[in-house]
Chains A and B, each alone.
Chain A
Amino acid sequence: AQSVAQPEDQVNVAEGNPLTVKCTYSVSGNPYLFWYVQYPNRGLQFLLKYITGDNLVKGSYGFEAEFNKSQTSFHLKKPSALVSDSALYFCAVRSGGYNKLIFGAGTRLAVHP
């Protein structure tokens, strides 16, 4: 069965420092991977996705993610964190033929001034 794991409940970063939010996956076949962000009391916003091609995927708000097949990882990164990046981040993998998304448990990112 397809699954994703986000090993960190929370990540704390100082503003201006690089950030990484980790995600590992388990799939049979080709992985289709997504990152979403949820701000307080808001819906999920799409950040980026990996379908095929370049291992480094660029997305919204300066975020990028690196697909690593050998490590079955899809970590979310940003070179310089902003306080406004503080939110809940979800990694997801597509499962099956009907575009069902399986979400990780989420990682809360806190960026401190």
Chain B
Amino acid sequence: DTAVSQTPKYLVTQMGNDKSIKCEQNLGHDTMYWYKQDSKKFLKIMFSYNNKELIINETVPNRFSPKSPDKAHLNLHINSLELGDSAVYFCASSRGLASADTQYFGPGTRLTVL
């Protein structure tokens, strides 16, 4: 059983398009995250939701809009895609916000903007 899953795995699109990435976790966790990994493999947090409430927004352009319809899902919608948005996007989840709560990551979505 996949704990944290993302769709699609690969996404190739043109500049200016709008696209969405979906994430689902079946761990019963309350907290979910989006991370971006750039071409140099550097990982940076973008957003976090706890019980469907946005709690972290790391100065991400407002073209990026996360949405959490329920605790098990956190989707990422990106408007007006730019070349610099090309990256691997990872979803993660944790039981909650306690210091001991481990984050578990999905397999990633590789976004390529042409």
Q: Please, how many residues of chain A have a CB less than 8 angstroms from a CB on the other chain?
A: 24
Point out the residue from A38, A99, A102 that lies within 8 Å of B99, measured CB to CB.
Answer: A99
Residue picked from A30, A42, A49, A99, most chain B C-beta under 10 Å:
A99
Contacts A43-B108, A44-B90 known; A99 to B42 CB distance under 8 Å? no
**Which residues from 53 to 111 on chain A have a C-beta closer than 8 Å to any C-beta of chain B?**
88, 90, 94, 97-103, 105-106
A25 beta carbon closer than 8 Å to chain B: no
Question: How far apart are the CA atoms of A103 and B103 in the complex, in Å?
Answer: 12
Question: Which chain B residues lie closer than 8 Å to A88 at the CB level?
Answer: 41
Question: How far apart are the CA atoms of A100 and B100 in the complex, in Å?
Answer: 12
Count class of interface residues, chain B: 20 to 34
Point out the residue from B43, B92, B96 that lies within 8 Å of A90, measured CB to CB.
Answer: B43
B66 beta carbon closer than 8 Å to chain A: no
Of B11-19, B44-52, B67-75, B76-84, which binds chain A? B44-52
7 A-B residue pairings within 8 Å (CB atoms): A32-B100, A43-B4, A43-B108, A46-B102, A94-B99, A100-B56, A103-B44
